[in-house]
Amino acid sequence: MAKVATKLKKRINDSYRIIIEKNISRQIPQYLEELELGKKYAIITDTIVEKLFAKKLQNALKRKKIKSEIFVIKKGETSKTLKTVEEVAIKMIEKGIDRHDAVIALGGGVVGDIAGFVAAIYMRGIPYIQVPTTLLAMVDSAVGGKTGVDLPVGKNLIGTITQPKAVFIDIAYLKGLPDKQVKSGLSEIIKYGVIKSKRLFKYIEKNLDDILKKDEEALKHIIKESIRIKTKIVEKDEQEGNLRMILNYGHTYGHALEKLSGYKLLHGFAISVGMVIMNKIAVERGLLKQKHSDRITELLKRAGLPTTALKTPTKKQLLGDKKKQGDYINFVLPVKIGKAVIQPEKCL
């Protein structure tokens, strides 16, 4: 018998810059010159962001003599499919994007997930940067390297963890963001407060009116704090072996609610209801005091977020979640504001 050993020990540094500043998007061409990620850039965006920001970015790149092509997908969660990935990849080939080029994800969470996934698998992987344009994407999908698409049976079941080379968060993009999208993003930020930072939670309680009015300093503060929390968690557990699962507070039921709604329910709205469901379970198990559960629910209501659903998903319907292990799924349950635990739950 012949035996051959393959030794592939690796030391990889996937560190990257996250820059949070008003009008930072104007400086992206300069940063790209410094980073030297690609000879040409594929700007992946959606039908809404194309009209608002994509052409401006392309023109700014052109002034620096940086080549780029724009690739547009239909807005919304229903575009997050393998079919969309295939269509984008084919168009990129037709436009001459090769393995020496790079991707710019310009848009909300759906665009970020698809663009990151395309970059991860296109010609076996090319670099990408994240330029999120919604509050939700700024504090969630743009940071941490999760990419992917949905399947008919559940969300984010096909994907990779591939870190971007940089993240540019431009507060100016939020100026014209619809109120419901601000609230959707705020749901994720409240999540960070519940699982890891009582200080952030209290800041939101105190400054909620300014946040909802899109006050720049208030938004910058909660975005920075959310990213600080997420990066600390991702640094310790990039591949979601254990600790990173804590970021899924509210998401197990939330994702199921999104699916039941045919993805008409905004992500943050679904997560809000999911958090309330988790809080109820935590109270029933003696992990969370009722007064803390009520305080969280009250903040969600004040933020204009839903706290109930017409139909609660069954445990069996949760098995489409990627976090399941056999017949079990991991529940993230708060024990107080600022701390949560992970407990397996039998779903069959």
- Catalytic residues, by residue number, are 124, 146, 188, 230, 240, 244, 248, 251, 255, 267
Contact residues for 45 (Cβ-Cβ < 8 A; gap 6+): 53, 54, 70, 71, 72, 73, 106, 107, 111
**CA-closest candidate to residue 338, choices 222, 191, 234, 221:** 191
Contact residues for 312 (Cβ-Cβ < 8 A; gap 6+): 253, 277
Inter-residue contact 317 to 261 (CB < 8 Å): no
Inter-residue contact 171 to 21 (CB < 8 Å): yes
Which pair of tokens denotes residue 136? Answer: 């939700």
Alpha-carbon torsion (221, 223, 225, 231), positive or negative:
negative
Give 311-325 as a DSSP string. SPPPTGGGGGSTTEE
Inter-residue contact 40 to 68 (CB < 8 Å): yes
Q: Helices in 197-266 by DSSP H: which ranges?
A: 198-212, 216-236, 251-260
- Quote the crossing angle between the two packed helices 179-196 and 267-284, to the nearest 10°: 30
